[in-house]
Structure 1
Amino acid sequence: MKQFSAFALVLLFTCFLATPQIQAQDKTPTISEKTKGLDKQEGFFTYYWDEKEGKIWLEIDKLDQEFLYVNSLAAGVGSNDIGLDRNQLGDDRVVYFDRRGPKVLMVQPNYSYRAITDNQKETESVRDAFAQSVLWGFKVAAESKGRVLVDATDFLLRDAHGVVDRLKGMNQGNYRLDDSRSALYRDGTMNFPKNTEFEATLTFTGDASGGYIRSVTPSSDAVTVRQHHSFVELPDDDYEPRVFDPRSGYFGTDYQDYSTPIGESLTKRFITRHRLEKKNPGTAMSEPVEPIIYYLDPGTPEPVRSALLDGARWWNQAFEAAGYRNAFQVKMLPEDAHPLDVRYNVINWVHRSTRGWSYGSSVVDPRTGEIIKGHVLLGSLRVRQDYLIAEGLLAPYEDGQPENDPMMEMALARIRQLSAHEVGHTLGIAHNFAASTNSRASVMDYPAPKVNIDENGNLDLSEAYDSGIGEWDKVTVAYGYQDFPEGTDEKQGLDEILNKAFEDGLLYISDYDARPAGGAHPKAHLWDNGTDAVDQLNHIMNVREIALQNFGEAVIPNGRPMATIEDALVPIYLFHRYQIEGTVKLIGGMDYTYKLRGDSQPGPEPLAPAQQQAALEAMLSTISVEALRMPDAIIDIIPPRPIGYYGSRELFNSHTDPAFDPLGAAETAAHATTSLLFNANRAARLVDFEARNPDHLGLAEMIDKVYENTWMAEPQDGYNGAIQRAVNFVTLYNLLQLAADEDASSQVRAISNEKLVELYDFLNKEEKATESEQWLAAYNYGAKLIDGFMENPERIEEMTPPLSPPPGSPIGSTDSFLGCSW
């Protein structure tokens, strides 16, 4: 027998004694052991608050069970341009927790690709064909009877909303999350039976390189916001998705179903909508099983508060027309409620440093399209802009403050309409920009203030904005929310709703087709009124002329700096800018609908030549000397800005700082018109339509008419001549842009270049004939610009571009698409 030394025996005995201790250390504690003494909060997901360490411990008792994860921004940055608003929704995703040994993964399945079938292997084949996303990995810290405990702190203290990327993308600086200045926010962390809410204060540090972020932060090297995380129970399976129809006026959700029989569409489309059911579906009028309730932000002041409540409540008119009693309600948000709590549909009153869009968005179940939470962001400065426009139109301060306040009446009328509009988006409803041609048939249009001219030639704002829901709105609510009696063919019933609307003459055209740049639809416009865009432009120009003739000191109250008159002048001088965007679409325009095979709607058809010619004449009238000449009575009273009232982007850009620049204003307005005329898509349609019908307006003919009203018009002297020359150079600039546009068709560029040669010859001829030094310089410089372009088209970049306008559509912001409004 082998003998052991004394040392070996001691070592063996020591190891034997140590083994149970090591095993004890490796044993995973129970949840109760790990959380002893911590603040336990029970709810959808139970969590524990560790005050000493500043940690959240999350108890996961729903492994492999899907739920909805939503991230949001509870406290924002306050800049419209950056776009990080208070109570802004972020992404919503279906996720589940998947345990893998010592880890728990948060997995987002790919619901864009599915197989709706009883064949489990077919379902798995589609699941494994497309990538999933693991959003986070947690380490198991404790477990008890199928439940695990993980430290969720790092997950909650990350930049889930993408603030760093947003600041970088907007050229505001390179920031990073500073852990030492970030912490969980207990006041925004709550638990309820069907949702668990977490919130964190996050600080991003870096060197600010942009003016936007410097303008809204007390210290731009430290940007502190709050981000919110919601874990939400998914709805039950009783919701019935409703089929998407492109004529219905709804947003849609879609996915590809690979179990679809060959010959049928792979893509399945459904509308987004709230769940709503009648208590008595067999009756014409019934209470709902559960009403749709919206809540207004209690931070909204009066009189705006009452206006927003009134406007949002308009939708109950549409639900009543669809057979529901008290199905849509609007209340004040309880004082102790969090606006990002998924249980509340909320209308938020949001402050920014500059004017901007309002938004209507939703938390949606991506599996079905069911809206779980409607969420509106209303910009608080919008009501002030409408008030300013009314001041400019009415010049009300001739004898001090008017007895009544027509400016406030107009502003509140607009805010009611805006409230209804954005709530409409959260009901699943898209824009209808053709509604203004149907007597304001929808609050989902972008309405321009309707200004009447009374028999005495005075401007009247009493009908500036409509009140109440429109006829098209009733159609959309019926399509989306009609509860059909048992045994009804739902598809047939939905078709009947839409066909009747079209037979009644209602129109529906949405976003892309209404946009001005290359748009072609003659009836779908932003910020317009009436049935005829040409007639409306002529009316708007008359309103603008009256307002400019009446414009003066009376647009501002006593005690304000005279320089601030320009604030009200900008939207009045450019009062026609939205209507030209509608009228220009008739040039190279065509009428069409979202027709389905078998319905009664007409097919696409180019507009009659006479309509296009009339639109061109109306557009050219907006760049005439008479239209662009600023009255001397205005120019003579606007001094440079005083200390404390510095310039802003809300004012005209200028060549003559610090003096007011009336020629710059004319240049700005002319650029708005001519840039629309010389759009590449519009030009290509003119070529195409004329080729198929020589009676149609062609591109060459349009350019000739522009020349007749600009460079080739009778030259004038003095101030009028200076306006002419400003317009001429703007026209040349935009024609050169069209000729150089690599995306324009070859025929468009060929015609544009040929017309530039014709203008070059004309300018050389006029240069020799003129006796005016100003016109000699203009002809000479214009010819040199064309000659340089012909030698090298890239030299177009050397040209001085026309002055850009102050922020426009919406009146005071940048462009946007679905779910937004001014």
Structure 2
Amino acid sequence: MKNQLIYTLPILFFTFFLNAQSFDKTKDYQKFSGYFNFYYDDSSDKIFLEVNELEKEFLYVYSLSSGIGSNDIGLDRGQLGNEQVVYFKKAGQKLLLVQPNQRFRALTDNNLEKKSVEQAFAKSVLHGFKIEEESRGSYLIDITDFLMRDAHGVSQRLKRTKQGSYSLDASKSALAFERTKAFPKNVEFDVTLTFKGSPTGDWIRSVTPNPNLVTVAQHHSLIALPDDNYKKREFDPRCGSYPFSYYDYATPVQEPILKRFVTRHRLEKKNPNASMSEAVEPIVYYLDNGTPEPVRSALLEGGRWWNQAFESIGYKDAFQLKILPDDADPLDVRYNVIQWVHRSTRGWSYGSSITDPRTGEIIKGHVSLGSLRIRQDFLIAQALMSKPFAENDDNYGPMLEMALARIRQLSAHEIGHTLGFAHNFAASTNNRASVMDYPHPQFELDGNTINFSNAYDTGIGEWDKVTVAYSYSDFTGGTNEKEALNAILEKAQNDGLRYISDQDARPRGGAHALAHLWDNGKNASQELDKVLQIRKVAIDNFSMDNIRSGEPNSVLEDVFAPLYFFHRYQTEATSKLIGGLDYNYATKGDGQRTVYSISASSQENALKTILKTLDAEVIAIPKEKLELFPPRAIGYGRSRESFKGRTGVSFDALSAAETATDMTLGLLLHPERASRLIQQKSLDEDQLGLTEVLEETLRRTIKRSHKDSYLAATQHTINFKVLHHIMNLAAHTGVHPQVNAIANQTLKETKTHLLGNGKNSISVEMVRRIDAFLDKPEKFKTIPAPKIPDGSPIGMGCMH
């Protein structure tokens, strides 16, 4: 044993000596030891990277550690860039940073077949580095220029959003060592970048102290790839997960060449045979330690709902949510993070992730929650409460609780994206079965009072348990995984759960009758009736007591805006019944119905209900309420969340009606919907057709009169928009020609009606517009209505 030790020690020492690289150039530099060793030369302000292994793949990710603060521009603090598998390759006196093509592969033992696919498709060389020094197979390269470039595309984004032409100003940029660190499996670099240019847009002017100089911080991460023990799981269009895909050219001819798998974190039971087991390594998320109370507690509570879903598949404490340590960097790949992001205006919240491009394994989940979003729910509650500040200015408890209820749901929703799950916009028809829907606050009427207690659901949904079961179930040995996964989806189907995602749920032109953003209830038109009733009660109750003492009426006007347009999202949902379809992401043999039209009676009821939003008696702001809205006070100008109008400083009640009308008609008379009505009528003569829709719309608008002069003026405003949208159908080049024919005939019949109903200034002007259109339809241009204020409870979309 002694002799063996004697021989072993020199070998170990010699091996250590060989591996301990020494570069002459770096002897006076500050050294950072980690996954890659790197050195800082403060005399030249340069960073040198030590590369010990060539052609070994690792992950490169760029991101923004500090942003611009504008939702419209979209460059947020913590925003991730694209992850890229890369490797270093020697070429003469350079090291090339190469990104291989992960989209096209050949998964085979035949190396020549692999090489043929690799050579068939382009790869990308991201950068070339001069070799500064070589020592025993290791290379020293200067990566300063690589770090100091505009990797995130800030200047391109500013140009694309028409904010100006900007370029990187190296003299005002520098390395940032507060967030430059080295760890065993990742190294992190941070740089301060300044862009100089001439601002042309209001967005950049509104968020920068000097819009000619825009300074942000950019982050670069070099990360060790996970080991090969991750097991991919096949994607099914019914499962609710995001698909990860690539082409495998080694696939037998009889099999699909495009491979699809779910995107998910790695999760395994410590004891696969136990009905309840801890995870080998739980999924742990960390909340931004800069999040204030009571938001912090609400986000923690809502995010932890996901553990309910993991418990339902036999995991104990598999999902955990903690506070981010004070010394942790939110962009460090070792932390799944929920960031509290500030912007100058309300905007998106989104869940994104860093994934392994080879497998789809989620390495880091990263949620960005807009800090101003909570204020919109507070505003909605403030508008719907009856005299909340009649007795004192501190009666904000019910409003705050509703806003926090939404924040709990939002936390769960965005975390869900980073767990690999897509939106489910049909969940609202299943008794709010998923946090991955966009929920509109749900209210009940108690006489003349609006009940807020059930505004938002609590806890994880039944559909969410299905998605977790499909993506994360740990099956015991001998289980046929494909059969087990299919059984999960069949049970969900038998339980009546529905899943429809983004591409089928968007409002304008959308066709799926059950999938929509911000709707409630199984029957959209019945729910719209209910929403209109709630809106009416709230408007009748609205008064000066909806704001605090000392606040100007300009604030009251902005509180009124989300109330006036309270029906907008349920109107969108109802419109999708007209010419609507019901369909599933069906697979052969699963027993689901594929696609069928909504019944004629349901479509007719939807049309009847939606036309209420074009009725002056419903849409006109009551005359006595107009006294609440004088011209804006100094210092309280209109914002993007205010009413827009055509009357200068005064409040424009007619433009409010025009805006609401244009919103409804843009949905009801959408060109794609009109074409679907043509098709469905051709397949079933008893179905609703475009002719019936236009006839009923005219009967309820242009052919209707009001004795009250204010209601009459409001109805005229509505009627001109109706005429305009019919002209749009008549002139549109992207519809079936039958749509053009029916719309043109409707215009001629409308002219006849107007001429036969007695001459007045309104009918004369409408006839003039019809004649001008029929004479030269090619000159028709859409006339925009005053823009509807921003109003979505959390925005029109989640980015991920």
Equivalent in the alignment of 1:82: 73
Q: Which structure would you say has the larger Rg?
A: 1
User: How far apart, CA to CA, are the structure 2 residues paired with 1:739 and 1:430?
Assistant: 38
CA contact (8 A) 2:557 2:628 kept: no
Q: Which amino acid aligns with 2:434?
A: S
1:628 aligns with 2:609: no
Q: Match for 2:404 among 409, 412, 418?
A: 412
CA contact (8 A) 2:83 2:355 kept: yes
User: How far apart, CA to CA, are the structure 1 residues paired with 2:603 and 2:717?
Assistant: 26
Deviation at 1:73, TM superposition (A): 0.4
Equivalent in the alignment of 2:181: 190
1:426 aligns with 2:418: yes
Deviation at 1:36, TM superposition (A): 1.3
Q: Match for 1:436 among 415, 425, 428?
A: 428
CA contact (8 A) 1:276 1:292 kept: yes
Deviation at 1:530, TM superposition (A): 1.4
CA contact (8 A) 2:425 2:499 kept: yes
Q: Which amino acid aligns with 1:93?
A: Q
User: How far apart, CA to CA, are the structure 1 residues paired with 2:683 and 2:762?
Assistant: 39
Q: Match for 2:790 among 802, 807, 816?
A: 807
Q: Match for 1:330 among 299, 321, 324?
A: 321
Q: Which amino acid aligns with 2:774?
A: M
Q: Match for 1:273 among 264, 269, 274?
A: 264
Deviation at 1:716, TM superposition (A): 3.6
Equivalent in the alignment of 1:451: 443
What are the equivalent positions in structure 2 for 1:390-401 lying under 5 Å apart?
A: 390-394=381-385, 395-401=387-393
Aligned length: 779
Equivalent in the alignment of 1:296: 287
CA contact (8 A) 1:499 1:600 kept: no
Deviation at 1:750, TM superposition (A): 1.6
User: How far apart, CA to CA, are the structure 1 residues paired with 2:732 and 2:482?
Assistant: 47
Deviation at 1:403, TM superposition (A): 4.8
Equivalent in the alignment of 1:27: none
CA contact (8 A) 2:348 2:798 kept: no
Deviation string 1:384-428 (CA, Å, 9 cap, x unpaired) is 111111000004111123556100000000000000000000000
Equivalent in the alignment of 2:86: 95
Q: Which amino acid aligns with 1:806?
A: P
User: How far apart, CA to CA, are the structure 1 residues paired with 2:43 and 2:736?
Assistant: 68
| Pair 1:293–1:818, CA change in 2 (3 A) | same
Structure 1 alignment gaps of length 5 or more = 1-29, 771-775
CA contact (8 A) 2:336 2:364 kept: yes
User: How far apart, CA to CA, are the structure 2 residues paired with 1:471 and 1:816?
Assistant: 23
1:702 aligns with 2:693: yes
Q: Which amino acid aligns with 2:573?
A: G
Q: Which amino acid aligns with 1:38?
A: Y
1:350 aligns with 2:341: yes
Q: Match for 2:238 among 233, 247, 253?
A: 247
**Percent identity for Structure 1 against Structure 2:** 54
Q: Match for 2:770 among 775, 778, 786?
A: 786
| Pair 1:745–1:31, CA change in 2 (3 A) | farther
Equivalent in the alignment of 2:5: none
| Pair 1:344–1:812, CA change in 2 (3 A) | closer
User: How far apart, CA to CA, are the structure 2 residues paired with 1:404 and 1:86?
Assistant: 31
Normalised by the size of structure 2, how large is the TM-score? 0.96
Q: Which amino acid aligns with 1:474?
A: K
Normalised by the size of structure 1, how large is the TM-score? 0.94
CA contact (8 A) 2:336 2:365 kept: yes
Deviation at 1:590, TM superposition (A): 1.3
Q: Which amino acid aligns with 1:790?
A: L
User: How far apart, CA to CA, are the structure 2 residues paired with 1:205 and 1:648?
Assistant: 28
Q: Match for 2:109 among 118, 140, 145?
A: 118
What are the equivalent positions in structure 2 for 1:642-653 lying under 5 Å apart?
A: 642-653=633-644
CA contact (8 A) 1:183 1:202 kept: yes
C-alpha RMSD over aligned residues: 1.2
User: How far apart, CA to CA, are the structure 2 residues paired with 1:818 and 1:757?
Assistant: 46
1:373 aligns with 2:356: no
Q: Which amino acid aligns with 1:416?
A: R
User: How far apart, CA to CA, are the structure 2 residues paired with 1:512 and 1:817?
Assistant: 13
Identify which range, 345-354 or 735-744, moves more after superposition: 735-744
Deviation at 1:617, TM superposition (A): 0.3
Deviation at 1:616, TM superposition (A): 0.2
2:316 aligned counterpart, secondary structure: coil
Deviation at 1:62, TM superposition (A): 2.2
Deviation at 1:31, TM superposition (A): 5.0
Deviation at 1:623, TM superposition (A): 1.1
User: How far apart, CA to CA, are the structure 2 residues paired with 1:550 and 1:812?
Assistant: 26
User: How far apart, CA to CA, are the structure 1 residues paired with 2:511 and 2:460?
Assistant: 28
Deviation at 1:433, TM superposition (A): 0.6
User: How far apart, CA to CA, are the structure 2 residues paired with 1:811 and 1:403?
Assistant: 22
User: How far apart, CA to CA, are the structure 1 residues paired with 2:68 and 2:22?
Assistant: 39
CA contact (8 A) 1:733 1:801 kept: no
1:547 aligns with 2:538: yes
CA contact (8 A) 2:32 2:39 kept: yes
User: How far apart, CA to CA, are the structure 1 residues paired with 2:794 and 2:643?
Assistant: 13
Equivalent in the alignment of 1:603: 594
Equivalent in the alignment of 1:488: 479
CA contact (8 A) 2:350 2:798 kept: no
Equivalent in the alignment of 1:321: 312
User: How far apart, CA to CA, are the structure 1 residues paired with 2:79 and 2:665?
Assistant: 38
Q: Match for 2:716 among 721, 725, 730?
A: 725
Structure 2 alignment gaps of length 5 or more = 1-20
Q: Which amino acid aligns with 1:440?
A: R
1:396 aligned counterpart, secondary structure: coil
User: How far apart, CA to CA, are the structure 2 residues paired with 1:333 and 1:64?
Assistant: 35
Q: Match for 2:60 among 57, 66, 69?
A: 69
Equivalent in the alignment of 2:15: none
CA contact (8 A) 1:806 1:812 kept: no
CA contact (8 A) 1:31 1:148 kept: no
Equivalent in the alignment of 2:126: 135
2:88 aligned counterpart, secondary structure: strand
Deviation string 1:603-633 (CA, Å, 9 cap, x unpaired) is 2110110000000000001111111121223
